[in-house]
Structure 1
């Protein structure tokens, strides 16, 4: 479904743009249809940059992005726009992805109107169906984002994404801003929707426990490069690279995985 081949992203800054920062360094990844690749690493490792490159929201300095066999890097803006409904992104903070001046009805309706996916006669039914899919009560339809909880706002953001029937979603830390109990509900919802719709997901997170639960394959990113890739069990319970072992050990010591690992010292480099 998605192939990233030798992706590099370099930012130039400073006087005459002579200072170079490598955000992504020669990364190659692939995700099969209906599967989830978990991308994990510390803040600043290049995870979000890579996710946006996968959707061509950011242009790569070099490399190739293929979606369903189509080379995205060679498409014009017009050609790319026709593919946009098939590729969507779920952001970390719904407060920044939802317009506070719009009601929930208007937030969910907006992508349907822009893409001409529903006429006036069927719009209400489509909106209510989408709210039902993400577990929101119809009574919320005329409220504003500031009148609902963080978990409900993220569900509204998910409803907007699903309104275009995407095949591929980049989920960029979608539960990082939520309480633990609400995180579990939203993650369970995403997995349920994925199973029903055969969605392909690039799931970005710094939370190793969340990545383990959500992913079929995990890639560990450090300083813009993929340092290790494999199954959740292999990566998180028998890691090969020192950086991965440090991440797992830190997660254990923070009590995120209490009882899952017998001796965290065994994971240290």
Structure 2
């Protein structure tokens, strides 16, 4: 479904003395249709940059992105726009996706109107269907985002994404701003939606427990490069790269990995 081939992204700054920063360095990844890949690494490792390159929200310096067999890096803007509904992103902060001047109903309806996906008569039914799909009550449709909790906002943001019937979603730390109890609910919801709709998922996180829960395969990113990748079971149970081993050791020592015992039986 999605393939990244030898992706590199270099940022430059300065005028007289140009300085280069390599954010992503020769990365190749692939995710099969309906699969989920967890991209893990510390802050500044290049995870978010790579996720946005996968959607061509950021242009790579070199390399190729293929989506469903189509070379995205070779498409014109108009051709890319036709594919956009099938590739979506869920941001860490749901307020990035929600206009506080719009009701939940209008926020969810907006992408469908832009892409002319439903007629006026079907619109309300589709809105209520999407709210139900993400576990929200119909009476929330008339509220504004500032009247919602963090978990409710993220559910509305997910409903907006699902309104376009995407085949591929990048989830960029979608629960990092939520407390633990709400995190579990939102993660369970994303996993459930993925199974029901056969979504292909790139899940970005620095949290190994979440990566374990959400991913079939794992890629560990460090200083812009992939240092290890494989099945979730193999990478988390028998890591080979020193950086991966250090990540897992740090998670155990800080007791942030609530799946310690589960990890031993992966």
Q: TM over 0.5, yes or no? A: yes
Alignment of 1:87-166 (within 5 A): 87-166=87-166
State the partner residue of 1:67.
67
* Cα distance, 1:217 vs structure 2: 0.2
Q: Secondary structure at the match of 2:260?
A: coil
Quote the Cα distance in structure 1 between the aligned partners of 2:193 and 2:57. 24
* Cα distance, 1:256 vs structure 2: 2.0
State the partner residue of 2:26.
26
Q: How much is the aligned-residue C-alpha RMSD, in angstroms?
A: 1.2
Quote the Cα distance in structure 2 between the aligned partners of 1:42 and 1:257. 15
Quote the Cα distance in structure 1 between the aligned partners of 2:247 and 2:80. 37
Quote the Cα distance in structure 2 between the aligned partners of 1:95 and 1:67. 28
State the partner residue of 1:50.
50
Quote the Cα distance in structure 2 between the aligned partners of 1:133 and 1:253. 38
Quote the Cα distance in structure 2 between the aligned partners of 1:169 and 1:222. 22
Matched, 1:84 2:84: yes
- After superposition, the Cα gap between the structure-2 partners of 1:258 and 1:147, relative to the gap in structure 1 and judged at 3 Å, is closer
Alpha-carbon contact 1:86-1:167 (below 8 Å) kept: yes
Matched, 1:6 2:6: yes
TM-score by length of structure 2 reads 0.96
Quote the Cα distance in structure 2 between the aligned partners of 1:45 and 1:259. 24
Unaligned runs of at least 5 residues, structure 2: none
**Aligned pairs, number:** 262
Quote the Cα distance in structure 2 between the aligned partners of 1:190 and 1:236. 22
CA deviations on 1:36-78 (whole Å, 9 max, x unpaired) are: 0000000000000000000000000000000000000000001
State the partner residue of 2:178.
178
Quote the Cα distance in structure 2 between the aligned partners of 1:31 and 1:162. 19
Alignment of 1:223-234 (within 5 A): 223-234=223-234
* Cα distance, 1:16 vs structure 2: 4.0
Quote the Cα distance in structure 1 between the aligned partners of 2:260 and 2:147. 39
Quote the Cα distance in structure 2 between the aligned partners of 1:84 and 1:258. 37
Alpha-carbon contact 1:252-1:261 (below 8 Å) kept: no
CA deviations on 1:205-255 (whole Å, 9 max, x unpaired) are: 000000001000000000000000011122112111111111111111121
- After superposition, the Cα gap between the structure-2 partners of 1:258 and 1:65, relative to the gap in structure 1 and judged at 3 Å, is closer
Alpha-carbon contact 2:209-2:258 (below 8 Å) kept: no
Alpha-carbon contact 1:34-1:199 (below 8 Å) kept: yes
TM-score by length of structure 1 reads 0.95
* Cα distance, 1:139 vs structure 2: 0.7
Q: Secondary structure at the match of 1:124?
A: helix
CA deviations on 1:133-171 (whole Å, 9 max, x unpaired) are: 000000100111110100000000000000000000000
Alpha-carbon contact 2:6-2:62 (below 8 Å) kept: yes
Quote the Cα distance in structure 2 between the aligned partners of 1:16 and 1:186. 48
CA deviations on 1:86-138 (whole Å, 9 max, x unpaired) are: 10000010022211111101100100000001111111111111000000000
Q: Secondary structure at the match of 2:220?
A: strand
